C-alpha cells in the first residue's frame, strides 16, 4: 500500500495570461509554464469559455484499481462558459501532466464537470497560475488505483 506523503513549499511567481480562441487549454497552460521556466504550478483562477470538451468520470460501480472500462468518456459540444477550473500541472511519466477539473455552464443553465481530457478555448480563457516552489511532486501510474497519482519524485 502506498503511504500518504506531505511536502512543504510555497507559492512562487504568479502569472496572469489570456489563452486565445482555438488554443488547447492544457497545452496553453504548459506553454505559459515553459515560457516562465517552471515545471510545477497550480491553477488559481480561470474563467472564460470553452468549445468542445472531452471529460472522463468513473462509472457507477467502479472499483480499485480503475480500468478504462470503468470510466465514462463524454464528448460535449460547446460552447460552454468556463465557470471555474481547478488543477495542478507537474512532471509526469510522459512529459508534463495537467490534472484539470473544469466546471462548465451550458446555454440552458445546466452545469457539467469532470476530469478534463481535452478542451479548446472558444473565445478566451483568463488564467491565473502560481508556481509551486520547493516541491518535487510528480505524477506516476499507481498499481493500487490504476490511475496516475501524485507522489514524491
- Per-residue pLDDT tens over the stretch 17-49: 999 999 999 999 999 999 999 999 999 999 999
Per-residue confidence at 1, pLDDT binned at 50, 70, 90?
low
Here the CATH number for the domain that contains residue 87 is: 3.30.1330.80
The distance of Cα 54 from the centroid of its chain, to the nearest Å, equals 12
> What range defines the domain where residue 27 resides?
13-133
SS percent in the chain: helix, strand, coil, step 5: 10, 60, 30
The total of structural domains in the chain comes to 1
Q: Establish if 118 belongs to a structural domain.
A: yes
Q: Establish if 38 belongs to a structural domain.
A: yes
Q: How far apart are CA 150 and CA 87, in angstroms?
A: 12
* pLDDT tens digit sequence for 101-127: 999 999 999 999 999 999 999 999 999
b/e burial code for range 81-98 (CB count within 10 A of at least 16 → b): bbeebebbbbbeeeebbb
User: Is the CB of residue 10 less than 8 Å from the CB of residue 135?
Assistant: no
Q: Establish if 115 belongs to a structural domain.
A: yes
Amino acid at each position: 500500500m502506498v503511504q500518504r506523503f506531505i511536502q512543504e513549499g510555497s507559492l512562487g511567481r504568479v502569472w496572469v495570461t489570456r489563452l486565445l480562441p482555438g488554443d488547447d487549454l492544457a497545452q496553453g497552460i504548459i506553454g505559459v509554464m515553459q515560457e516562465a521556466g517552471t515545471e510545477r504550478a497550480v491553477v488559481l483562477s480561470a474563467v472564460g469559455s470553452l468549445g468542445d470538451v472531452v471529460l472522463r468520470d468513473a462509472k457507477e460501480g467502479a472499483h480499485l484499481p480503475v480500468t478504462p472500462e470503468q470510466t465514462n468518456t463524454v464528448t460535449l459540444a460547446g460552447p460552454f462558459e468556463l465557470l471555474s477550473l481547478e488543477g495542478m500541472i507537474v512532471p509526469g511519466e510522459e512529459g508534463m501532466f495537467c490534472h484539470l477539473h473544469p466546471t462548465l455552464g451550458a446555454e440552458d443553465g445546466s452545469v457539467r464537470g469532470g476530469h478534463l481530457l481535452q478542451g479548446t478555448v472558444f473565445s478566451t480563457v483568463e488564467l491565473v497560475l502560481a508556481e509551486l516552489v520547493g516541491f518535487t511532486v510528480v505524477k506516476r501510474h499507481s498499481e493500487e488505483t490504476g490511475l496516475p497519482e501524485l507522489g514524491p519524485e
